A and B are shown apart, each in its own frame.
Chain A
Amino acid sequence: MIYAILVCGVAIISTLLILLTKKFPAKTSLILRIFAYIFIAAYVVRLVHNDAFDRIYGGLSDYMSTSMIAMMMGLRALTMISAIVTCIEPIRSSKTCKDILSLFVPIVTILNIIFFRQHIIAFAGTTNINYVSIRAIQFAIETMLMGGISAYYLYGFVTNWKERRSSFRLGSFFAVLGFLLLACFPVGIFQGLFGEFGDEATGFTFTHRVMLYLTCIIPIVIYFAYRNKGVDRARTMLIYLSTACLVLFTYTININNLSYTNLPLHLCNTGVFLIFIAYVFNVKSIYYFTFFVNVIGALFAMVLPDTDGSVFLLSNIRFWVDHMYVFFLPILGMVLKVFPRPNFKMIRGAIYVFSIYFVAMIIANAWINTFASVDYFFLQGDTVSKHADFLYNWQQLYKLSVTINGITYTTAWVYDIFIYFGYILLMFIIWIFYDAIFKTQDHYTRLIELQKSDMLDIRELRKKIGNDITKPINPRGKNMIKISHFTKIYAGSDRKAVDDFSLTVKAGQVFGFIGHNGAGKSTLIKSLVGIQSITSGSIEVCGYDITKQPLQAKLNIGYVSDNHAVYEKLTGREYINYVADLYLVSKEDREARLARYAKMFHLENDLDREIKGYSHGMKQKLVVIASIIHNPKVWVLDEPLTGLDPISSFQIKSLMREMADAGHIVFFSSHVIEVLEKLCDRVAIIKQGHLVGEYTSDQLKTKKMSLEDIYLDVADEAVTSDVKNTIVTGTTNSK
């Protein structure tokens, strides 16, 4: 009779669902949700019943065979998964869970109908079963609803067979099923299968360590499984896990038997509910409360458990499983980026929620302890204070009592304040700790990205010029500098320091360029010599790409920086030796060149003195010698004449001319217009990162134009967006 009722119930519900969704196709989602909520309500009703299932595994042998007990335990676990999937899938859909609801849950429903009697025996703990008891009726409704909803999904699967078959992935199906089975495994089964064993979880015993290792390993495994699956799937997974945590927590709770002492008001108990609310309803303030407060609370509880009896005692398994969930669920939400990284605003929100909870617990303790004995958040008893004498003394000495209607409410105010601020301090410490982890995560994510980009660059280069990447990328540009569409944006800035800059300089030229302070001269030079990175575009020196073939390109460059920094504790000769070593210059070459240049700059007698004693000009001259000790094809100088005396200035200018005449490229920046005008074969003007004019010395002479006039003219103008389009060699965009 009961079986017929159950089957009919399933048929009616599924038919009703099919008819309703056909009649109102636009409301399908709403209809399914309503049924899911009814199912949840039916499931919640179970909480008011005194369920004997988990308490009587050992005693079940009086009523059924051993194989049947094992079968029933397995079926309970599968029913848990089915129930959770039936609750969540209509509310938050996921492809694999839909398949599970379509194909797996109907089978579990059929098994539950077949073994309905055994279920009722196990719930009631007696063979004198009463099918009209609350638990039997509730379980019948639960089975019918679960069966009805799953049958509807099965119907959908069958009717869309072709489409669903093609998207069906057996691997994912069993992976998710296995995952859910582990997540929802009824904790009582451990005790049912293994009985009471293991040592007491009061110290760092073997089982205690295993539990702690598991607590760390499980979230790591989940993280690696879901890190690339996207935020949406991660959120769905976390909703399932938080629901599983809630269901496991409430599984053995019986509202009828609840006393004040076992109300779920302790930090981690509330965490079970709050984590569920945070994930399902996406409530940020509650999430950050769990992230900052519950995680650390659960960790303390697990590291220093205060439990009696073996680890596999039902209450202890529950303790571990609940705390494990409360520990890692918020962390997973953060590392899988379901919630953004915390900032001060978020920690402030968490402090608000914590303050409300804390005040509520003070009131609850003060009130309930007038007629019962409770210790919520360990504010009343000595669980915490027994570890520190001064705290115990504070708890005993400083008490605040308020008498209302003859009843005295008491709280240890100093102790409470200490715990409150202590926890807030802990939250900030945790924040610093989390922040360090986030920074490490960011750093290594960036490192991996850069590594990949480096490898790609080399691959690209190989594709372009073959396996020997020391060959020039542009053999035709062997004697030139070629800057193509070079743009530079500094990190942390949105302004382009140099914008779409293109230029070619050929051998035998002294090329100078001028611009106002901050125009981009040094930026361009620093990128040209490889000191700074290039945002976009390319720079080739003697046919080598400065970014992709830096060593080959730099071998052809000599650079005089604008800061002429040198190792002051070395002597001049040691410094030159050091630079020559870096530029791979042979003994003979460096000897000959040093002798020549030292004589030219009158430094022969100072070379063996520590640089510390050199004047500004002497240092500058030393840097100049160091920059040409390897006889570079391209000599780049950034403001080389600043601060030099007239003779030194003349010597450097002569050397620049000499180098250019010998077929080298001399590329330099200066603020001194006269120098540029007299010395350069070509001059360019740069303004706000744009090349705004380029002139040869012949053009200046034939047109009888003064560089100063041109520069002042250009400098007065505002740069418009079409500047770069109007650049014509030998002309400017000015009138």
Chain B
Amino acid sequence: MFERIKILTLLQLGGKSRRRAHTKNQTIVNCLIKALIISAITVAIYMVLGLIKSTLSFPINKSVLTFLLFVSQYIGILTCTVSLSSVLYSSRDNAILLSYPAKPNEVFVSKLVVAYLGEFNKNLYFLFPVFFSFGLLNGCGVWYFISSIIMLLFMPIFPVFIGALLSIPLQYIKKLLNRFPIAYAILILLVVVALFWGVAAFVAIIPKPLRLLAMYNRFINGFLTFVASANQFGLFYNFMTNIMYSVNIGLNLLWLVLIVVGIMLLTNYVSMPLYFNLASRSNEHAVKSKTKKIKIQPARPTLLAFLTKEVKLTFRNINKVMNDYFLILMMPVVLYIMNVAFSAIVVSRLGQCMITGFNVLVGMVMVTACNTQSATAITVEGGEFVLLKTAPSKTSNMVWAKMLINVAISTFFIFASAIMMSVSQAVTIQHTWLIFLTIALANFSHILWSFQLDITNPRLRDYAESGKLDGNPNVNKSVRIGLLIGLVFGIFSIILLNENMTIGWVKIICIALALLIFRLLLFVKNLKVFFKRIEY
């Protein structure tokens, strides 16, 4: 059994890692690079925490560590639940893995092992540096560092196993929502109402004027009280930090082990039996016949044909669209809260410039993060791309159709954000619209750039085979470029507006426009040359 689980795990890992070392030297180099990156992150976190501790007099203690663990791990549980619900039950590799001479339960376990390793890897780059930085800053002893390594092994168990348990009800809820679109619409409406209620409640508690320095001690005390009360729900994370800080090691370790065993048993008796049932369901004959017959239409221009198809697919994949554009959907709310807080602070001229800069930075990062759609626009055509390659028309128009959808959605939400910003009155109306224009222009440049990434390096076959975008290099590149554009414009806004407000805005808009024209020219060139050379 263990041998089969090992083989299944290695199979899945082999599919995930594209950059595998082939020689001993490459392995050593890879390990060294990883160690170097982890060391660099540790130093960076140490410096940041050191700065927070020394400059802001913020306590860096066991309680804060527990809270940090608690928050990061609860986020981990959420992400694991969502990702496991697709990895366990609707992944394309299920068809292959379940057909192997292995029990479905072994496939299930292998999938959990893969998820565990993924979580462990993530923790290695974040929690490990955090543990070490906390230890160094608090002058902890050797036990702290040894136990923190042991805790690293325990840590991924919780999000993975709890995620596996929660993914079952999530899967049923998904199916229910798919079956009853009205329920889905009601749910979205409820979420939106709850969100607005939450925002309104949050905004109402922001004191005006907001004097950060005067309220600093109050804020710290309030935060520590909050941390203490939140830690009451920390459960096993309290046991972990207790072990690390040498508080009742034996008892806490016993509790921790008992909880881990409990969760494992629960997964074994609840998730495992349902796994095969859920994973082996097919869509065939699952869709009801549509009563409304669509008329045969005359030949349309290709751009219109592509656009119609894209609009239909967008509306019929509303779940996917919501997931893909989640950040941009949240943008009006986030910018509103941020600006309400800003408007409560009395700021200098430089402060005003910084507020504008932050708005540009946050807005751009959120908008461009959603442009991964553009960075995978060709790739997600997968096997269907064959049709475009064989069609006797200007099929490169499909890029413009897809782009139009992306631009329309993002511009609409940038516009909505601008309205929310105007309401908050943190920046003047004119500046709000100038921010809107800058973000819209830069976002369009980024969309063009992201599309170009996919045109020059599409992963059609990978997507056709796996149905997933995991490890797609264009996604990471697009996010990196978006972050860079956001940073550059954010910093430029602060510097240029501080020099001269009017000329500063002219310069910023000119830079955004120049970037757009430059990217448009490059995009058109790339589209002309590389689109027809895409092979499947």
Which residues of A pack against B, CB within 8 Å? 344, 388-390, 418, 421, 424-425, 428, 443, 447, 450-451, 454, 526, 529-533, 550-555, 557, 559, 561, 563-571, 573-574, 577-587, 590-591, 594, 605-606, 608-610, 612-615, 626
Contacts and interface: CB of A to CB of B under 8 A. Distances in A.
B309 A559 contact: no
B39 A574 contact: no
A715 to B, nearest CB: 28
Chain B interface secondary structure, helix, strand, loop or mixed? helix
A390 B305 contact: no
Given A567-B384, A582-B395, A587-B297, 16 more contacts: A451-B529, A526-B536, A531-B536, A532-B535, A559-B390, A565-B383, A568-B283, A577-B297, A579-B391, A581-B302, A583-B391, A586-B299, A590-B296, A608-B292, A609-B288, A609-B289
A389 B299 CA distance: 70
16 contacts: A451-B525, A531-B390, A550-B532, A551-B392, A563-B383, A573-B293, A574-B309, A578-B309, A579-B387, A581-B297, A581-B299, A587-B296, A608-B292, A609-B287, A609-B289, A613-B283
Contacts of A526: 535-536
Contacts of A567: 309, 313, 384
Contact of B525 (A428, A447, A563, A610): A447
A530 B286 CA distance: 36
Contact of B290 (A561, A571, A591): A571
B386 interface: yes
Interface hub of A344, A390, A571 (most chain B Cβ within 10 A): A571
A574 B312 contact: yes
A645 B64 CA distance: 65
A613 B391 contact: no
B298 interface: yes
A419 B309 CA distance: 57
Contacts of B529: 447, 450-451, 454
A312 B387 CA distance: 66
B175 interface: no
B464 A613 contact: no
Contacts of A608: 289-290, 292-294
B392 A587 contact: no
Contacts of A428: 33, 36
B179 interface: no
Contacts, number: 152
Contacts of A609: 287-290
A561 B304 CA distance: 25
Interface in B497-536: 525-526, 528-530, 532-533, 535-536
Interface in B51-76: 51, 54
A555 B395 CA distance: 13
B296 A594 contact: yes
Contacts of B36: 424-425, 428
Contacts of B296: 573, 577, 587, 590-591, 594
A450 B533 contact: yes
Contact of B535 (A418, A451, A533, A591): A533
B285 interface: yes
Given A451-B529, A551-B392, A571-B294, A390 B299 contact: no
Contacts of A571: 290, 294
B305 A582 contact: yes
B55 to A, nearest CB: 8
B47 A390 contact: yes
Top 6 A-B pairs, shortest CB-CB distance: A565-B383, A613-B287, A581-B305, A555-B392, A554-B392, A587-B298
Interface in B293-338: 293-294, 296-300, 302, 304-305, 308-309, 312-313, 316-317
Contacts of B105: none
A550 B395 CA distance: 12
Nearest to A581: B305
A533 B39 contact: no
B234 interface: no
A329 B375 CA distance: 36
Interface in B375-395: 382-384, 386-393, 395
A584 B36 CA distance: 57
A531 B293 contact: no
B389 A530 contact: yes
A609 B284 CA distance: 11
Nearest to A618: B284
Interface hub of B294, B299, B535 (most chain A Cβ within 10 A): B299
A646 to B, nearest CB: 20
Contacts of B389: 529-531
B144 to A, nearest CB: 20
B249 interface: no
B492 to A, nearest CB: 13
Nearest to B457: A443
Interface hub of B298, B305, B308 (most chain A Cβ within 10 A): B298
Contacts of B525: 447, 451
Contacts of A532: 535-536
B173 interface: no
A425 B40 contact: yes
B267 interface: no
A454 to B, nearest CB: 7
A615 to B, nearest CB: 6
A389 B390 CA distance: 64
B456 interface: yes
Contacts of B533: 450, 533
Contact of B54 (A389, A553, A559): A389
B350 interface: no
B287 A612 contact: yes
Contacts of B297: 577, 581, 587
A424 B37 CA distance: 12
B29 interface: yes
Contacts of A530: 389-390
B39 A421 contact: yes
Interface string B450-472: 00000010000000100000000
B528 to A, nearest CB: 8
B299 A614 contact: no
B535 A584 contact: no
Contacts of A568: 283
A551 B464 contact: no
A569 B312 contact: yes
Interface in B243-298: 283-290, 292-294, 296-298
A577 B298 CA distance: 9
Nearest to B315: A569
A613 B535 contact: no
A11 to B, nearest CB: 62
A33 B305 CA distance: 74
Contacts of B29: 344
B299 A587 contact: yes
Contacts of A564: 383
A599 to B, nearest CB: 15
